[in-house]
Amino acid sequence: MSTGTGATVTVNLGERTVSVPKAGLFDRYRMDVPLDEVAADPRVPGVDFFRTLPKTEVRSPIGSTRTPNFYYAMSSARLTLLAPSSAIRSRLPEELSPLEVAPGLGMVSLMLFRYDVCDIDFYTEAAVGVAVRPARNGGLRTAVADAVSALGDDHLYSYVLSLPVSTEIAQVRGHDGYGFPKWVTGLDVDIDETSTSARIANADGGIDVALFAATPKQRRIASGEKVSTLTSYTKREGAWHATLNQTNILASGRSLLPRGVDLQLGDGRIADDLRSLKTIRAISFDVNTSAQAALHMPVPFSVR
């Protein structure tokens, strides 16, 4: 799928120039990879999920691009923690409200991603996000239903506080194109059926956040049987946007009230965000050792 030499070429994204792997998927196909070719990669578990999602050409701050962005082989982990709603609210724009799962308590997530095969080539990513009420959705009955839905992982709504990545193209596309608070840093994520680990570096090369835990027992799932969705709210050029991410989960496991999760907070932007949220305790640890995803370009959205 690529030369494997470490050589790079430069490409333009709007007014920005970034380096990408020479002869990698982005260099060759610019977000329009032939599905039959990617299906031949032994790391890719299949492409049926993507055949139902035709791409379209759109104009954006990163220039003309194809959407959705496809992630053909990936793994992910999410540590969900309780935090005081007051602490969460202090970090949210006034237009958004925390999703409360108990009186005065909301949910914070530390998320880890490893994208082995995707349209913009291999990269890793981490995020601190807070669960929010669906915009323009009110009422007690709705709030209860939203909390149950969120805990069931079928449709989450989120506001992301920090989102470091390991490559230039992921940073520019995510920041300029989507409005996410992305920056490039050293970021190692390793996820398999035995263990899940991550090390996020700070600006000095030291530890921002590190995590190590046993991977929850995995259950294999047929493609298309469990597709979760995440809607993230961002501001881009002063206007609110909603970004939809669809994840086709192929192998997954969950630990409730997990023990043995070694979470180390060092010095850095991710650690500062977690401390500011005054997290209380972990309520679940979800790991997908095999998944695929389609990340759609953001669309303008009224949060009121």
Quick: pLDDT tens for 148-173. Answer: 455 555 789 999 999 999 999 999 99
pLDDT digits (tens, 9 = 90+) for 15-25: 999 999 999 99
Name every residue whose Cβ is closer than 8 Å to that of residue 189 and which is 6 or more positions away in sequence.
75, 112, 113, 114, 124, 125, 126, 197, 198
The yes-or-no verdict on residue 146 having pLDDT over 60 is no
Angle of CA points 44, 46, 51, to nearest 5°: 125
pLDDT digits (tens, 9 = 90+) for 184-227: 999 999 999 999 999 999 999 999 999 999 999 999 999 999 99
Give the residue with greater pLDDT, 142 vs 133: 133
The yes-or-no verdict on residue 82 having pLDDT over 70 is yes
Name the strand (E) or helix (H) holding 50.
helix 48-51
pTM of the entire predicted model:
0.94
Average pLDDT over residues 259-277: 97
Burial of 181 (0-12, 13-18, 19+ CB in 10 A): middle
Name the 3-class secondary structure at 143.
helix
- Encoding tokens for residue 110? 């530390």
Burial of 243 (0-12, 13-18, 19+ CB in 10 A): buried
Cα 79 from Cα 111, distance rounded (Å): 6
The yes-or-no verdict on residue 136 having pLDDT over 70 is no
The yes-or-no verdict on residue 275 having pLDDT over 90 is yes
Cα 256 from Cα 37, distance rounded (Å): 39
Domain ranges of the chain: 70-300
- What is residue 303's predicted lDDT score, i.e. its pLDDT? 77
Q: Does domain 70-300 have CATH number 2.40.400.10?
A: yes
- What is residue 302's predicted lDDT score, i.e. its pLDDT? 85
The share of the chain scoring above pLDDT 70, in percent, equals 92
- What is residue 123's predicted lDDT score, i.e. its pLDDT? 98
Residues across the chain = 304
Q: Are 187 and 166 in contact (CB under 8 A)?
A: yes
- What is residue 145's predicted lDDT score, i.e. its pLDDT? 47
